[in-house]
Amino acid sequence: LLLSLKPENKTKGKLQKQICQVVLDHFEKQYTTELGDAWTSVRDVLTYPLCWQHAVLLNKFSQSAELENSLRVKGYHPAFQGPLPYRPASLKCYIRRTPGRFPAQKHHAGKLKEYYLLNAASLLPVLALEVKDGEDVLDLCAAPGGKSVAILQCAYPGQFHCNEYDDLRSRWLKQTIESFIPDPLINLIMVSKLDGRQIGDLKPELYDKVLVDAPCSNDRSWLFSSDIQQATLRLMQRKELSSVQFQLLRSAIKALRPGGSLVYSTCTLSKAENSDVINLILNSCSNVIPVDISEMAKAVSQEFTFLSGTQQHELLVLPEKGRAWGPMYVAKLKKM
């Protein structure tokens, strides 16, 4: 994401993000219709990066008591304290109500990072997936790797297959895994660059759990597209995304063992890429059923604002000031 410099800020080295009007106009039309009044407050957060928040996911393979102390001093507190159906003690994430960003750590070969900065809502698909030790897991669209790292904070899978089709993103994924996962464990992780739409045919009924964190129209970053032509092209191609997402889901279902479960997630508010895709899958695949995740949503309602009126097998996190997490759509299915 390129950021444009405001001349008066050059001396301070500050970067000022510019809103892409073409994208904002498009969102305005679509989301006023889909979200109604909720869109106004969501738009205020998405268009004002100074109120964005970052969560700090601790790396259990590189633990530091000092880090936890300094987070607490800076006003951070542990997230996910509610009675969650699934919350391994080894998954530690810190958040605070005020915006700002904890300093990022650079990648150094051979040295593990102590934490990963992320949108706290990104952990909801991982909590919904409920990975247990020894299970065979596929992360179908794994880059940049935050959710893969989070899965490994929760459990030790039997086999862990992280896939990323895009070449550049695949390199990013490998670097993330190297930065967070120690040597003996890293050998159990398979990183591939397959077309996710074909994995189901290549590896049928091989996995207990599959995460499909699908390519989607990324509302947050699209709003700050610096290239108007590229932004316009993205908006034109946006209609095709739901077809790709549907194909990825169908492939994931083939890759699942009977009795296995799948979580689908995106970071867009778009109904066409969220509940419409899930409804299409439920209507066209007789061997999958929806799984109720409303208990999980209830347990984290302190931290997140959800769109009301969604079904029990899905949730949509709406960013709001003080809880600027999301957008994040999560749905859970089970293969019969």
- The confidence score (pLDDT) of residue 296 equals 98
Looking at residue 249, its amino acid is L
CA-nearest of 282, 311, 283 to 297 is 311
Neighbours of 108 (CB within 10 A): 9
Q: Is 13 exposed, middle or buried (0-12, 13-18, 19+ CB in 10 A)?
A: exposed
Radius of gyration of the chain (CA): 19
Contacts of 221 (CB under 8 A, 6+ apart): 1
Domain ranges of the chain: 21-335
- Residue positions forming the annotated binding site for S-adenosyl-L-methionine: 141-147, 164, 195, 213
pTM: 0.94
Dist. CA 177–CA 179, nearest whole Å: 5
Q: Concatenate the DSSP letters of all residues of 176-205 into one string.
A: HHHHHS-HHHHTTEEEE---TTTHHHHSTT
Predicted local confidence at residue 219, as pLDDT = 97
**Encoding tokens for residue 243?**
């077809």
Per residue in 2-39, pLDDT tens?
A: 333 333 333 333 456 899 999 999 999 999 999 999 99
Report the pLDDT value the prediction gives residue 7, as an integer from 0 to 100. 36
3-state secondary structure of 77: strand
pLDDT of residue 65: 86
Q: What is the mean pLDDT of residues 149-165?
A: 97
Domain 21-335 has CATH 3.40.630.30: no
Going by C-alpha positions, the residue among 111, 37, 63 that lies closest to residue 318 is 37
pLDDT at 246 over 70: yes
pLDDT of the residue at 16:
61
Q: Which residues are catalytic?
A: 267
Given this model, what pLDDT does residue 108 score?
86
- Buried/exposed 129-149: b ≥16 CB within 10 Å, e otherwise: bbbbeebbbbbbbbbebbbbb
pLDDT of residue 13: 37
- Give the torsion sign (CA, 111, 155, 215, 166): positive
> What is the average pLDDT score of the chain?
93
pLDDT tens, residue by residue, 275-304: 999 999 999 999 999 999 999 999 999 999
Segment 223-230 mean pLDDT: 94
Given this model, what pLDDT does residue 8 score? 35
The whole-number pLDDT of residue 152 equals 98
pLDDT band per the 50, 70, 90 thresholds, residue 82: confident
Point out the least confidently predicted range of 6-10, 93-97, 322-326: 6-10
What is the tens place of the pLDDT at every residue in 41-78?
Answer: 999 999 999 999 999 999 999 988 899 999 999 999 99
Q: Residue 313 pLDDT more than 80?
A: yes
**Closest to 273 measured CA to CA, from 228, 214, 224, 334:** 214
